[in-house]
A = this chain, B = another copy of it.
Protein backbone atom coordinates (compact mmCIF):
# COMPACT_ATOMS: atom_id res chain seq x y z
CA UNK A 1 0.00 0.00 0.00
CA UNK A 2 2.12 2.92 -1.23
CA UNK A 3 2.08 5.83 1.13
CA UNK A 4 1.03 3.91 4.20
CA UNK A 5 3.06 4.12 7.42
CA UNK A 6 5.91 1.74 8.44
CA UNK A 7 4.99 -1.74 7.67
CA UNK A 8 5.31 -3.90 10.68
CA UNK A 9 4.18 -3.65 14.25
CA UNK A 10 7.44 -5.27 15.24
CA UNK A 11 9.52 -2.72 13.44
CA UNK A 12 10.58 -0.90 16.51
CA UNK A 13 11.87 -4.10 18.10
CA UNK A 14 13.26 -6.02 15.22
CA UNK A 15 14.07 -5.24 11.63
CA UNK A 16 15.13 -7.27 8.60
CA UNK A 17 17.29 -5.70 5.92
CA UNK A 18 18.79 -6.60 2.57
CA UNK A 19 21.85 -4.87 1.16
CA UNK A 20 22.26 -5.87 -2.49
CA UNK A 21 24.67 -5.02 -5.24
CA UNK A 22 26.51 -6.36 -8.26
CA UNK A 23 30.19 -7.12 -8.77
CA UNK A 24 32.46 -5.15 -6.52
CA UNK A 25 29.68 -3.07 -4.96
CA UNK A 26 30.67 -4.30 -1.53
CA UNK A 27 27.22 -5.22 -0.27
CA UNK A 28 28.58 -8.05 1.87
CA UNK A 29 31.22 -5.86 3.50
CA UNK A 30 28.60 -3.25 4.32
CA UNK A 31 26.42 -5.94 5.84
CA UNK A 32 29.20 -7.42 7.94
CA UNK A 33 30.20 -4.05 9.32
CA UNK A 34 26.61 -3.10 10.01
CA UNK A 35 26.13 -6.30 12.00
CA UNK A 36 29.30 -5.70 13.95
CA UNK A 37 28.31 -2.11 14.69
CA UNK A 38 24.87 -3.30 15.77
CA UNK A 39 26.50 -5.79 18.12
CA UNK A 40 28.63 -3.05 19.64
CA UNK A 41 25.52 -0.92 20.07
CA UNK A 42 23.90 -3.67 22.12
CA UNK A 43 21.64 -5.26 19.52
CA UNK A 44 21.23 -8.91 18.79
CA UNK A 45 21.05 -9.96 15.19
CA UNK A 46 22.30 -12.14 12.41
CA UNK A 47 23.40 -12.04 8.83
CA UNK A 48 23.48 -14.50 5.96
CA UNK A 49 24.70 -13.98 2.45
CA UNK A 50 23.32 -14.81 -0.96
CA UNK A 51 25.90 -14.87 -3.71
CA UNK A 52 26.00 -15.94 -7.33
CA UNK A 53 28.40 -18.46 -8.84
CA UNK A 54 30.98 -15.87 -9.89
CA UNK A 55 34.23 -15.76 -7.94
CA UNK A 56 34.42 -12.00 -8.00
CA UNK A 57 31.59 -9.77 -9.12
CA UNK A 58 28.23 -11.24 -9.92
CA UNK A 59 25.26 -10.52 -7.76
CA UNK A 60 25.43 -10.56 -3.99
CA UNK A 61 23.25 -9.64 -1.08
CA UNK A 62 23.71 -9.38 2.67
CA UNK A 63 20.56 -10.44 4.51
CA UNK A 64 20.35 -9.05 8.03
CA UNK A 65 18.06 -9.18 10.97
CA UNK A 66 18.72 -6.77 13.83
CA UNK A 67 16.76 -6.96 16.99
CA UNK A 68 16.64 -5.89 20.61
CA UNK A 69 16.09 -9.50 21.67
CA UNK A 70 18.02 -12.64 20.72
CA UNK A 71 17.08 -14.02 17.30
CA UNK A 72 17.94 -17.35 15.75
CA UNK A 73 16.75 -17.06 12.16
CA UNK A 74 15.48 -14.69 9.55
CA UNK A 75 11.87 -13.64 9.48
CA UNK A 76 9.97 -14.66 6.36
CA UNK A 77 10.13 -11.26 4.72
CA UNK A 78 12.38 -8.27 4.57
CA UNK A 79 11.41 -4.83 5.77
CA UNK A 80 14.17 -2.84 4.13
CA UNK A 81 16.16 -3.20 0.93
CA UNK A 82 19.12 -1.02 0.12
CA UNK A 83 20.16 -1.60 -3.49
CA UNK A 84 23.63 -0.22 -4.07
CA UNK A 85 22.80 -1.13 -7.64
CA UNK A 86 20.34 -3.57 -9.27
CA UNK A 87 22.82 -5.84 -11.04
CA UNK A 88 21.28 -9.30 -11.50
CA UNK A 89 18.95 -8.65 -8.59
CA UNK A 90 16.38 -10.70 -10.48
CA UNK A 91 18.40 -13.84 -9.67
CA UNK A 92 17.25 -13.54 -6.06
CA UNK A 93 13.62 -13.98 -7.01
CA UNK A 94 12.19 -16.79 -4.95
CA UNK A 95 14.88 -16.34 -2.35
CA UNK A 96 14.30 -12.83 -0.97
CA UNK A 97 10.71 -11.87 -0.20
CA UNK A 98 9.97 -8.23 0.52
CA UNK A 99 7.23 -7.48 3.03
CA UNK A 100 4.30 -5.52 1.61
CA UNK A 101 5.15 -1.88 2.13
CA UNK A 102 8.83 -2.63 2.60
CA UNK A 103 11.14 0.36 2.28
CA UNK A 104 13.44 0.31 -0.68
CA UNK A 105 16.38 2.69 -0.90
CA UNK A 106 18.07 2.84 -4.26
CA UNK A 107 20.11 5.13 -6.39
CA UNK A 108 18.14 5.01 -9.58
CA UNK A 109 14.52 4.38 -10.37
CA UNK A 110 14.98 1.36 -12.61
CA UNK A 111 13.53 -0.79 -9.85
CA UNK A 112 13.00 -4.33 -11.18
CA UNK A 113 9.47 -5.45 -11.80
CA UNK A 114 9.54 -8.17 -9.15
CA UNK A 115 10.56 -5.67 -6.49
CA UNK A 116 7.86 -3.25 -7.55
CA UNK A 117 5.37 -6.10 -7.36
CA UNK A 118 5.88 -6.27 -3.60
CA UNK A 119 4.42 -2.74 -3.45
CA UNK A 120 7.23 -1.20 -1.47
CA UNK A 121 7.92 2.39 -0.49
CA UNK A 122 10.73 3.33 -2.83
CA UNK A 123 13.06 6.15 -1.86
CA UNK A 124 15.32 7.14 -4.68
CA UNK A 125 18.21 9.38 -4.10
CA UNK A 126 21.30 9.69 -6.14
CA UNK A 127 23.79 8.97 -3.38
CA UNK A 128 26.67 8.56 -5.77
CA UNK A 129 26.42 12.27 -6.47
CA UNK A 130 26.89 12.97 -2.76
CA UNK A 131 30.17 11.07 -2.65
CA UNK A 132 33.62 12.08 -3.77
CA UNK A 133 34.94 10.02 -6.68
CA UNK A 134 37.04 7.79 -4.44
CA UNK A 135 34.43 7.29 -1.72
CA UNK A 136 32.69 3.96 -1.79
CA UNK A 137 28.88 3.71 -2.02
CA UNK A 138 28.77 0.68 0.27
CA UNK A 139 30.27 2.79 3.07
CA UNK A 140 27.53 5.31 2.45
CA UNK A 141 25.04 2.46 2.79
CA UNK A 142 26.63 1.36 6.03
CA UNK A 143 26.52 4.83 7.55
CA UNK A 144 23.00 5.44 6.32
CA UNK A 145 21.48 2.22 7.67
CA UNK A 146 23.47 2.39 10.89
CA UNK A 147 22.08 5.81 11.56
CA UNK A 148 18.54 4.68 10.79
CA UNK A 149 18.80 2.07 13.52
CA UNK A 150 20.37 4.47 15.96
CA UNK A 151 23.99 3.40 15.88
CA UNK A 152 26.27 6.31 16.71
CA UNK A 153 29.01 7.50 14.38
CA UNK A 154 31.86 6.56 16.74
CA UNK A 155 30.87 2.89 16.58
CA UNK A 156 30.63 2.94 12.81
CA UNK A 157 33.99 4.67 12.54
CA UNK A 158 35.55 2.11 14.85
CA UNK A 159 34.36 -0.91 12.92
CA UNK A 160 35.51 0.68 9.66
CA UNK A 161 38.90 1.47 11.14
CA UNK A 162 39.34 -2.10 12.36
CA UNK A 163 38.28 -3.65 9.10
CA UNK A 164 40.57 -1.57 6.93
CA UNK A 165 43.46 -1.44 9.37
CA UNK A 166 45.76 -3.04 6.82
CA UNK A 167 44.93 -0.56 4.07
CA UNK A 168 46.31 2.60 5.64
CA UNK A 169 44.99 5.78 7.18
CA UNK A 170 43.90 7.32 3.90
CA UNK A 171 41.48 4.55 2.98
CA UNK A 172 40.06 4.42 6.48
CA UNK A 173 39.40 8.13 6.55
CA UNK A 174 37.77 8.06 3.15
CA UNK A 175 35.45 5.24 4.17
CA UNK A 176 34.53 6.93 7.43
CA UNK A 177 33.71 10.09 5.44
CA UNK A 178 31.41 8.17 3.11
CA UNK A 179 29.65 6.59 6.08
CA UNK A 180 29.20 10.01 7.66
CA UNK A 181 27.62 11.28 4.44
CA UNK A 182 25.21 8.34 4.66
CA UNK A 183 24.42 9.08 8.28
CA UNK A 184 23.67 12.70 7.39
CA UNK A 185 21.20 11.59 4.70
CA UNK A 186 19.50 9.28 7.19
CA UNK A 187 18.31 12.29 9.10
CA UNK A 188 15.71 12.81 6.33
CA UNK A 189 13.91 9.60 7.40
CA UNK A 190 12.17 8.31 10.48
CA UNK A 191 14.35 5.98 12.53
CA UNK A 192 13.70 2.30 11.87
CA UNK A 193 14.53 0.93 15.28
CA UNK A 194 14.93 2.23 18.80
CA UNK A 195 18.34 1.14 20.09
CA UNK A 196 18.80 -0.50 23.47
CA UNK A 197 19.48 1.79 26.39
CA UNK A 198 22.97 0.51 27.03
CA UNK A 199 25.85 -0.47 24.83
CA UNK A 200 26.30 -3.84 26.42
CA UNK A 201 28.63 -5.73 24.19
CA UNK A 202 31.24 -7.27 26.45
CA UNK A 203 29.32 -10.42 27.24
CA UNK A 204 28.24 -10.84 23.63
CA UNK A 205 29.87 -12.74 20.78
CA UNK A 206 29.67 -12.30 17.06
CA UNK A 207 30.36 -15.67 15.51
CA UNK A 208 29.42 -17.85 12.55
CA UNK A 209 28.22 -21.44 12.70
CA UNK A 210 31.36 -22.66 10.99
CA UNK A 211 33.53 -20.82 13.50
CA UNK A 212 31.47 -22.12 16.40
CA UNK A 213 31.83 -25.68 15.11
CA UNK A 214 35.60 -25.32 14.80
CA UNK A 215 35.81 -23.79 18.24
CA UNK A 216 33.74 -26.63 19.66
CA UNK A 217 36.10 -29.14 18.11
CA UNK A 218 39.11 -27.42 19.63
CA UNK A 219 37.41 -27.20 23.00
CA UNK A 220 36.74 -30.93 22.94
CA UNK A 221 40.37 -31.66 22.19
CA UNK A 222 40.75 -31.96 18.43
CA UNK A 223 44.41 -31.44 17.60
CA UNK A 224 44.69 -32.86 14.10
CA UNK A 225 42.75 -31.84 11.04
CA UNK A 226 43.06 -32.62 7.36
CA UNK A 227 40.80 -31.25 4.68
CA UNK A 228 40.44 -30.46 1.04
CA UNK A 229 38.92 -27.08 0.13
CA UNK A 230 35.23 -27.09 -0.71
CA UNK A 231 32.49 -24.52 -0.43
CA UNK A 232 30.86 -23.88 2.05
CA UNK A 233 33.20 -25.59 4.49
CA UNK A 234 36.49 -23.93 3.58
CA UNK A 235 35.95 -20.97 5.89
CA UNK A 236 35.61 -23.39 8.80
CA UNK A 237 38.90 -25.05 7.90
CA UNK A 238 40.67 -21.76 7.26
CA UNK A 239 39.55 -20.39 10.62
CA UNK A 240 40.72 -23.56 12.27
CA UNK A 241 44.21 -23.69 10.72
CA UNK A 242 46.10 -21.01 12.61
CA UNK A 243 44.21 -21.76 15.84
CA UNK A 244 44.84 -25.49 15.90
CA UNK A 245 48.49 -24.75 15.28
CA UNK A 246 48.57 -22.28 18.15
CA UNK A 247 47.22 -25.08 20.33
CA UNK A 248 50.05 -27.39 19.29
CA UNK A 249 48.03 -29.23 16.67
CA UNK A 250 48.10 -29.32 12.90
CA UNK A 251 45.99 -28.89 9.80
CA UNK A 252 47.02 -30.51 6.51
CA UNK A 253 45.61 -29.59 3.15
CA UNK A 254 45.25 -33.03 1.64
CA UNK A 255 45.41 -33.83 -2.08
CA UNK A 256 41.77 -34.91 -2.04
CA UNK A 257 39.08 -36.08 0.37
CA UNK A 258 40.17 -39.72 0.11
CA UNK A 259 43.49 -38.60 1.52
CA UNK A 260 42.04 -36.32 4.18
CA UNK A 261 39.78 -38.96 5.71
CA UNK A 262 42.62 -41.48 5.75
CA UNK A 263 44.98 -38.94 7.31
CA UNK A 264 42.42 -38.50 10.09
CA UNK A 265 42.43 -42.24 10.60
CA UNK A 266 46.22 -42.26 10.89
CA UNK A 267 46.32 -39.39 13.35
CA UNK A 268 43.52 -40.81 15.45
CA UNK A 269 45.11 -44.26 15.45
CA UNK A 270 48.09 -42.33 16.83
CA UNK A 271 45.90 -41.12 19.69
CA UNK A 272 45.20 -37.56 18.53
CA UNK A 273 41.53 -36.54 18.17
CA UNK A 274 41.00 -35.65 14.54
CA UNK A 275 38.49 -33.76 12.43
CA UNK A 276 37.72 -32.80 8.86
CA UNK A 277 35.19 -30.47 7.28
CA UNK A 278 33.72 -30.91 3.85
CA UNK A 279 30.51 -30.70 1.85
CA UNK A 280 28.40 -33.21 -0.14
CA UNK A 281 30.81 -34.16 -2.96
CA UNK A 282 33.68 -34.45 -0.50
CA UNK A 283 31.62 -36.52 1.91
CA UNK A 284 30.80 -38.90 -0.93
CA UNK A 285 34.51 -39.49 -1.44
CA UNK A 286 35.08 -40.04 2.28
CA UNK A 287 32.56 -42.83 2.75
CA UNK A 288 34.96 -45.71 2.14
CA UNK A 289 37.35 -44.25 4.72
CA UNK A 290 34.58 -43.65 7.24
CA UNK A 291 33.62 -47.29 6.86
CA UNK A 292 37.20 -48.27 7.62
CA UNK A 293 37.03 -46.17 10.78
CA UNK A 294 33.83 -48.00 11.77
CA UNK A 295 35.51 -51.36 11.23
CA UNK A 296 38.77 -50.52 13.00
CA UNK A 297 36.90 -48.52 15.69
CA UNK A 298 38.95 -45.41 15.09
CA UNK A 299 37.33 -42.22 16.42
CA UNK A 300 37.07 -39.21 14.13
CA UNK A 301 34.67 -36.42 13.25
CA UNK A 302 33.63 -35.16 9.83
CA UNK A 303 31.60 -31.98 9.57
CA UNK A 304 29.50 -31.85 6.42
CA UNK A 305 28.39 -28.28 5.76
CA UNK A 306 25.54 -29.18 3.45
CA UNK A 307 24.90 -27.36 0.19
CA UNK A 308 22.27 -27.88 -2.49
CA UNK A 309 22.69 -31.11 -4.44
CA UNK A 310 22.80 -33.55 -6.10
CA UNK A 311 26.32 -33.68 -7.57
CA UNK A 312 28.02 -30.27 -7.70
CA UNK A 313 24.56 -28.77 -7.33
CA UNK A 314 24.53 -25.20 -6.09
CA UNK A 315 27.72 -24.90 -4.07
CA UNK A 316 26.93 -21.61 -2.36
CA UNK A 317 23.37 -22.41 -1.28
CA UNK A 318 21.87 -24.35 1.58
CA UNK A 319 19.83 -27.55 1.70
CA UNK A 320 19.20 -30.47 4.05
CA UNK A 321 19.70 -33.28 1.62
CA UNK A 322 22.83 -35.08 2.80
CA UNK A 323 20.84 -36.70 5.59
CA UNK A 324 20.55 -40.06 3.89
CA UNK A 325 24.15 -40.35 2.75
CA UNK A 326 25.27 -39.47 6.28
CA UNK A 327 22.97 -42.06 7.85
CA UNK A 328 23.14 -44.82 5.26
CA UNK A 329 25.98 -44.11 2.85
CA UNK A 330 28.40 -46.79 4.11
CA UNK A 331 28.49 -50.25 2.60
CA UNK A 332 27.97 -53.24 4.89
CA UNK A 333 26.58 -52.92 8.39
CA UNK A 334 28.43 -49.86 9.61
CA UNK A 335 26.90 -48.29 12.72
CA UNK A 336 28.25 -44.81 13.39
CA UNK A 337 27.20 -41.48 14.86
CA UNK A 338 25.31 -38.74 13.03
CA UNK A 339 24.57 -35.46 14.77
CA UNK A 340 23.13 -32.14 13.63
CA UNK A 341 23.43 -28.72 15.23
CA UNK A 342 20.20 -26.74 15.24
CA UNK A 343 21.60 -23.20 15.32
CA UNK A 344 24.78 -21.17 15.21
CA UNK A 345 25.48 -21.45 18.94
CA UNK A 346 24.50 -25.10 18.89
CA UNK A 347 27.36 -25.74 16.44
CA UNK A 348 29.66 -25.15 19.39
CA UNK A 349 27.94 -27.69 21.59
CA UNK A 350 27.08 -30.31 19.01
CA UNK A 351 30.53 -30.45 17.48
CA UNK A 352 32.16 -30.73 20.89
CA UNK A 353 29.69 -33.45 21.79
CA UNK A 354 30.40 -35.27 18.54
CA UNK A 355 34.11 -35.30 19.35
CA UNK A 356 33.42 -36.51 22.85
CA UNK A 357 31.10 -39.31 21.68
CA UNK A 358 33.38 -40.38 18.84
CA UNK A 359 36.31 -40.68 21.21
CA UNK A 360 34.36 -42.42 23.90
CA UNK A 361 32.61 -44.84 21.57
CA UNK A 362 35.57 -45.29 19.20
CA UNK A 363 33.64 -44.64 16.06
CA UNK A 364 33.34 -41.98 13.40
CA UNK A 365 30.81 -39.18 13.84
CA UNK A 366 29.33 -37.17 10.99
CA UNK A 367 28.11 -33.71 11.98
CA UNK A 368 25.51 -32.46 9.52
CA UNK A 369 25.73 -28.71 9.49
CA UNK A 370 24.45 -26.69 6.56
CA UNK A 371 25.38 -23.55 4.67
CA UNK A 372 22.44 -21.72 6.24
CA UNK A 373 23.87 -22.21 9.71
CA UNK A 374 27.56 -22.50 8.93
CA UNK A 375 27.82 -19.19 7.11
CA UNK A 376 25.36 -17.33 9.31
CA UNK A 377 26.97 -14.67 11.49
CA UNK A 378 25.13 -14.17 14.72
CA UNK A 379 25.26 -11.95 17.77
CA UNK A 380 24.67 -13.97 20.88
CA UNK A 381 25.24 -13.97 24.61
CA UNK A 382 28.70 -15.36 25.12
CA UNK A 383 28.30 -19.10 25.68
CA UNK A 384 30.34 -21.12 28.10
CA UNK A 385 32.91 -23.28 26.38
CA UNK A 386 31.71 -26.88 26.43
CA UNK A 387 33.52 -28.71 29.20
CA UNK A 388 33.56 -32.00 27.35
CA UNK A 389 36.88 -33.39 26.40
CA UNK A 390 37.85 -36.39 24.42
CA UNK A 391 38.05 -39.39 26.69
CA UNK A 392 39.24 -42.48 25.02
CA UNK A 393 39.30 -45.78 26.83
CA UNK A 394 43.00 -46.57 26.67
CA UNK A 395 44.58 -49.96 27.20
CA UNK A 396 47.03 -50.54 30.03
CA UNK A 397 48.69 -53.70 28.83
CA UNK A 398 50.18 -55.81 31.57
CA UNK A 399 52.37 -58.86 31.17
CA UNK A 400 52.90 -60.67 27.93
CA UNK A 401 49.28 -61.24 26.95
CA UNK A 402 48.53 -60.20 23.40
CA UNK A 403 46.48 -57.05 23.08
CA UNK A 404 42.75 -57.86 22.93
CA UNK A 405 41.91 -54.77 20.93
CA UNK A 406 38.39 -55.93 20.12
CA UNK A 407 37.49 -57.79 23.28
CA UNK A 408 33.97 -58.10 24.59
CA UNK A 409 33.41 -55.75 27.55
CA UNK A 410 30.47 -54.68 29.66
CA UNK A 411 29.93 -51.47 27.72
CA UNK A 412 31.03 -53.12 24.46
CA UNK A 413 33.87 -50.62 24.09
CA UNK A 414 37.26 -52.31 24.12
CA UNK A 415 40.35 -50.55 25.44
CA UNK A 416 42.53 -49.15 22.70
CA UNK A 417 46.31 -49.29 22.76
CA UNK A 418 47.85 -46.43 20.86
CA UNK A 419 51.26 -46.74 19.24
CA UNK A 420 53.91 -46.00 21.80
CA UNK A 421 52.17 -48.10 24.43
CA UNK A 422 54.52 -50.92 25.36
CA UNK A 423 52.89 -54.31 25.06
CA UNK A 424 49.89 -53.03 23.12
CA UNK A 425 51.10 -53.94 19.65
CA UNK A 426 48.35 -54.97 17.27
CA UNK A 427 47.22 -54.32 13.69
CA UNK A 428 43.70 -53.01 13.14
CA UNK A 429 42.28 -54.18 9.83
CA UNK A 430 39.36 -53.39 7.59
CA UNK A 431 38.87 -57.12 7.26
CA UNK A 432 36.54 -58.74 9.74
CA UNK A 433 38.59 -59.96 12.67
CA UNK A 434 38.62 -61.71 15.99
CA UNK A 435 39.03 -60.13 19.42
CA UNK A 436 42.77 -59.79 18.86
CA UNK A 437 42.22 -58.03 15.58
CA UNK A 438 43.43 -60.96 13.48
CA UNK A 439 41.65 -61.31 10.14
CA UNK A 440 38.87 -63.87 10.33
CA UNK A 441 36.22 -65.02 7.92
CA UNK A 442 34.47 -67.15 10.48
CA UNK A 443 30.78 -66.48 10.96
CA UNK A 444 31.11 -66.52 14.74
CA UNK A 445 33.76 -63.79 14.79
CA UNK A 446 31.80 -61.77 12.27
CA UNK A 447 28.62 -61.92 14.29
CA UNK A 448 30.38 -61.16 17.57
CA UNK A 449 32.08 -58.08 16.17
CA UNK A 450 29.02 -56.89 14.23
CA UNK A 451 27.05 -57.10 17.43
CA UNK A 452 29.64 -55.35 19.53
CA UNK A 453 30.07 -52.50 17.07
CA UNK A 454 26.33 -51.97 17.08
CA UNK A 455 25.75 -52.52 20.77
CA UNK A 456 28.39 -50.07 21.94
CA UNK A 457 26.39 -47.32 20.25
CA UNK A 458 22.97 -48.67 21.12
CA UNK A 459 23.70 -49.25 24.79
CA UNK A 460 25.26 -45.86 25.51
CA UNK A 461 23.18 -43.36 27.47
CA UNK A 462 23.14 -40.16 25.44
CA UNK A 463 21.08 -38.25 28.03
CA UNK A 464 18.84 -35.31 27.30
CA UNK A 465 21.04 -33.81 24.63
CA UNK A 466 19.67 -36.25 22.07
CA UNK A 467 16.98 -33.71 21.20
CA UNK A 468 15.88 -30.18 21.96
CA UNK A 469 12.26 -30.11 23.05
CA UNK A 470 9.81 -27.32 23.84
CA UNK A 471 6.11 -27.20 24.66
CA UNK A 472 3.28 -29.62 25.22
CA UNK A 473 0.13 -30.59 23.42
CA UNK A 474 -1.20 -33.21 21.07
CA UNK A 475 0.38 -31.63 18.03
CA UNK A 476 4.11 -32.29 17.48
CA UNK A 477 6.43 -30.48 15.13
CA UNK A 478 9.59 -32.40 14.26
CA UNK A 479 12.42 -30.65 12.46
CA UNK A 480 16.19 -30.80 12.39
CA UNK A 481 19.22 -28.61 11.78
CA UNK A 482 18.46 -25.40 9.94
CA UNK A 483 14.75 -26.23 9.88
CA UNK A 484 14.69 -25.96 13.66
CA UNK A 485 14.60 -22.16 13.63
CA UNK A 486 11.38 -21.74 11.63
CA UNK A 487 9.82 -24.64 13.55
CA UNK A 488 10.62 -23.11 16.93
CA UNK A 489 9.58 -19.66 15.77
CA UNK A 490 6.27 -20.94 14.41
CA UNK A 491 5.66 -22.89 17.60
CA UNK A 492 6.22 -19.80 19.72
CA UNK A 493 3.87 -17.83 17.52
CA UNK A 494 1.25 -20.54 17.89
CA UNK A 495 1.62 -20.55 21.64
CA UNK A 496 1.35 -16.76 21.67
CA UNK A 497 -1.97 -17.25 19.91
CA UNK A 498 -3.06 -19.84 22.45
CA UNK A 499 -2.40 -22.93 20.37
CA UNK A 500 -0.41 -25.60 22.19
CA UNK A 501 2.22 -27.41 20.13
CA UNK A 502 5.30 -29.32 21.04
CA UNK A 503 8.55 -29.29 19.14
CA UNK A 504 11.09 -32.06 18.88
CA UNK A 505 14.46 -31.28 17.28
CA UNK A 506 16.67 -34.38 17.34
CA UNK A 507 20.31 -33.49 17.65
CA UNK A 508 21.42 -37.13 17.63
CA UNK A 509 20.21 -38.72 14.41
CA UNK A 510 22.14 -41.97 14.62
CA UNK A 511 21.89 -44.18 16.51
CA UNK A 512 18.13 -43.62 16.60
CA UNK A 513 16.61 -43.33 20.07
CA UNK A 514 13.30 -45.17 19.82
CA UNK A 515 12.51 -45.14 23.54
CA UNK A 516 13.23 -41.46 23.95
CA UNK A 517 11.28 -40.60 20.84
CA UNK A 518 8.34 -42.68 22.00
CA UNK A 519 8.36 -40.79 25.31
CA UNK A 520 8.63 -37.48 23.50
CA UNK A 521 5.64 -38.40 21.34
CA UNK A 522 3.44 -39.73 24.16
CA UNK A 523 -0.03 -38.27 23.81
CA UNK A 524 0.61 -36.84 20.36
CA UNK A 525 -2.19 -37.14 17.81
CA UNK A 526 -0.80 -35.15 14.92
CA UNK A 527 2.73 -34.83 13.61
CA UNK A 528 4.17 -32.27 11.24
CA UNK A 529 7.60 -33.12 9.85
CA UNK A 530 9.54 -30.12 8.53
CA UNK A 531 12.63 -30.25 6.34
CA UNK A 532 14.49 -28.46 3.57
CA UNK A 533 14.45 -31.37 1.12
CA UNK A 534 12.48 -32.34 -1.96
CA UNK A 535 11.79 -36.01 -1.43
CA UNK A 536 11.37 -36.08 2.33
CA UNK A 537 14.59 -37.69 3.53
CA UNK A 538 13.88 -36.76 7.14
CA UNK A 539 10.35 -38.10 6.95
CA UNK A 540 11.64 -41.40 5.59
CA UNK A 541 14.21 -41.54 8.36
CA UNK A 542 11.57 -40.95 11.04
CA UNK A 543 9.25 -43.58 9.55
CA UNK A 544 12.05 -46.13 9.34
CA UNK A 545 13.17 -45.75 12.94
CA UNK A 546 10.19 -44.50 14.92
CA UNK A 547 6.47 -45.05 15.22
CA UNK A 548 4.83 -41.74 14.38
CA UNK A 549 1.39 -41.60 15.97
CA UNK A 550 -1.83 -40.37 14.39
CA UNK A 551 -1.97 -38.14 11.37
CA UNK A 552 1.46 -37.43 9.86
CA UNK A 553 2.06 -34.54 7.48
CA UNK A 554 5.22 -33.48 5.73
CA UNK A 555 6.14 -29.86 5.09
CA UNK A 556 9.14 -29.75 2.84
CA UNK A 557 10.82 -28.24 -0.12
CA UNK A 558 14.37 -28.14 -1.31
CA UNK A 559 16.43 -25.21 -2.36
CA UNK A 560 18.09 -22.09 -1.08
CA UNK A 561 14.97 -20.33 0.16
CA UNK A 562 14.63 -22.76 3.06
CA UNK A 563 11.51 -23.09 5.14
CA UNK A 564 9.72 -20.00 6.45
CA UNK A 565 8.09 -19.87 9.87
CA UNK A 566 4.95 -18.64 8.13
CA UNK A 567 4.78 -21.83 6.08
CA UNK A 568 5.06 -23.89 9.22
CA UNK A 569 2.27 -21.92 10.84
CA UNK A 570 0.11 -22.35 7.75
CA UNK A 571 0.69 -26.09 7.80
CA UNK A 572 -0.26 -26.24 11.48
CA UNK A 573 -3.35 -24.21 10.68
CA UNK A 574 -4.30 -26.72 8.02
CA UNK A 575 -3.76 -29.68 10.26
CA UNK A 576 -5.65 -28.13 13.18
CA UNK A 577 -8.21 -26.27 11.06
CA UNK A 578 -7.39 -22.95 12.71
CA UNK A 579 -7.48 -20.26 10.06
CA UNK A 580 -6.21 -17.51 12.35
CA UNK A 581 -2.76 -19.01 12.33
CA UNK A 582 -2.43 -18.26 8.66
CA UNK A 583 -1.94 -14.50 8.84
CA UNK A 584 1.14 -13.59 6.85
CA UNK A 585 3.60 -12.42 9.49
CA UNK A 586 2.60 -12.98 13.08
CA UNK A 587 4.13 -11.01 15.91
CA UNK A 588 7.36 -12.58 16.99
Contact = CB atoms under 8 A, between A and B. Distances in A.
Interface string A417-430: 00000000000011
Interface string A293-334: 011100000000000111111111101011011011111111
B321 A280 contact: no
B446 A308 contact: yes
Contact of A535 (B292, B314, B335, B543): B335
A13 interface: no
Nearest to A546: B543
A94 B443 contact: yes
Contacts of A388: none
A287 interface: yes
A28 B533 CA distance: 51
A439 interface: yes
Interface in A428-449: 429-432, 439, 441-444, 446-447
A52 interface: yes
Contact of A540 (B332, B450, B544): B544
Contacts of A281: 288, 291, 331
A324 B338 CA distance: 15
Interface stretch (A268-276, A402-410, A557-565): A557-565
Interface in A4-58: 52-53
B443 A313 contact: no
Interface residues of A, number: 70
Interface string A527-550: 000000111010011011100000
A451 interface: yes
A499 interface: no
A443 B310 contact: no
Of A292, A324, A332, A335, most buried by chain B (CB within 10 Å of CB) is: A332
B446 A560 contact: yes
A471 to B, nearest CB: 27
Contacts of A543: 543-544
A321 to B, nearest CB: 5
Contacts of A309: 291, 330-334
A149 B430 CA distance: 43
Nearest to A288: B284
Contacts of A321: 331-333
B441 A331 contact: no
A454 interface: yes
Contacts of A128: none
A202 interface: no
Contacts of A450: 534, 558-559
Nearest to A256: B258
A91 interface: yes
Interface string A226-251: 00000000000000000000000000
A94 B443 CA distance: 6
Nearest to A293: B311
A93 interface: yes
A561 B443 contact: yes
Contact of A429 (B310, B312, B315, B317): B312
A470 interface: no
Given A309-B333, A559-B446, A441 B316 contact: yes
Given A310-B333, A324-B327, A327-B328, 13 more contacts: A93-B442, A281-B331, A284-B331, A285-B288, A288-B311, A296-B311, A308-B432, A311-B334, A314-B446, A324-B328, A333-B537, A454-B534, A454-B535
Q: Which 8 A-B pairs have the closest CB atoms?
A: A309-B332, A310-B332, A280-B331, A295-B311, A311-B430, A324-B328, A312-B430, A310-B334
16 contacts: A52-B441, A91-B442, A95-B443, A280-B331, A281-B331, A284-B287, A284-B331, A285-B288, A295-B310, A296-B311, A310-B331, A312-B429, A313-B332, A316-B441, A324-B328, A454-B535
Interface of A: 52-53, 91, 93-95, 280-281, 283-285, 287-288, 291-292, 294-296, 308-317, 319, 321-322, 324-325, 327-335, 429-432, 439, 441-444, 446-447, 450-451, 454, 533-535, 537, 540-541, 543-545, 557-561
